[in-house]
Amino acid sequence: MSSTIKIDRRALLHAMVRGGLALSLLPGCAEAAWSAVAAGVQAPRRVFSASESSLIAIIADAILPRSDTPGATDVGVPAWIDAVVGGYFSATQRANFLAGLTAIEDFALSRPGARLAVLQGGPLSAVIADLDAACGAKDPTPAQRGYAQLKELVIVGYFTSKPVQMDILKVVIVPGRFDPDVPIAPPGAA
């Protein structure tokens, strides 16, 4: 007996756009956001408050922690997310994203009774695991939607970052060598 899975393409694309994953499908968007971070251009478009930036960093490092490879904050994912939300999200998407961050914080307060910024170890892992377990739920809560969107951005940002591309994934952007000054005439001909 074979089972088939029906995928509604419109629903899939809508979910990807909501989550930010569509940026990875648009040529150059992730790279442009990384270029803005590298150039310091995201400062005028800064979207997040200090507490929101801290929340994003905590969750990013919980999703992709430092091990023998750099973690999400080590490669600058929170700044990249700030550039993406500031430069590529509409005002409505930005407001929904910020509401999702607030919902995540409220969720953490309802579980162990503390802000994510003060949680460490087991209690932090429990909150993240509860949010992560609900990803893909049919009717997600605002905290679950906010976490799913943030998680997608963290993953896309991490794997499109230059340190991960070059040092971990060993992506060769231009294979071989480029010599722009190669003589056209055969050797010895003058």
DSSP 40: T
| Residue 93 counted as domain residue | yes
Domain count, the chain: 1
**Mean pLDDT for the chain overall:** 77
Domain membership flag for residue 54: yes
pLDDT tens-place string over residues 3-15:
444 555 555 555 5
Provide the H-helix boundaries in 64-141. 77-88, 91-110, 121-133
48 located within any domain: yes
C-alpha distance across the termini of the chain, in Å: 75
- Is there a domain that residue 151 lies in? yes
Residue 176 lies in a domain: no
Residue 107 belongs to some domain of the structure: yes
Specify the amino acid at residue 137: A
Distance of alpha carbon 76 from its chain centroid, rounded?
10
Q: Is residue 38 part of a domain?
A: yes
Q: What is the pLDDT of residues 24-54, one digit of tens each?
A: 545 566 677 767 777 765 454 578 998 899 9
pLDDT value at position 175?
Answer: 60
If pLDDT is split at 50, 70 and 90, which confidence band does 77 have? very high
Residue 63 domain-assigned (yes or no) = yes
Average pLDDT for 67-93: 89
The model's pLDDT over 102-111, given as tens digits with 9 standing for 90+, comes to 998 988 888 7
pLDDT at position 88 is 82
Which structural domain, as residue segments, surrounds residue 52? 13-167
DSSP 186: P
**Would you say residue 18 has pLDDT above 80?**
no
Question: What is the reported pTM?
Answer: 0.72
CA–chain centroid gap for 64, Å, is 10
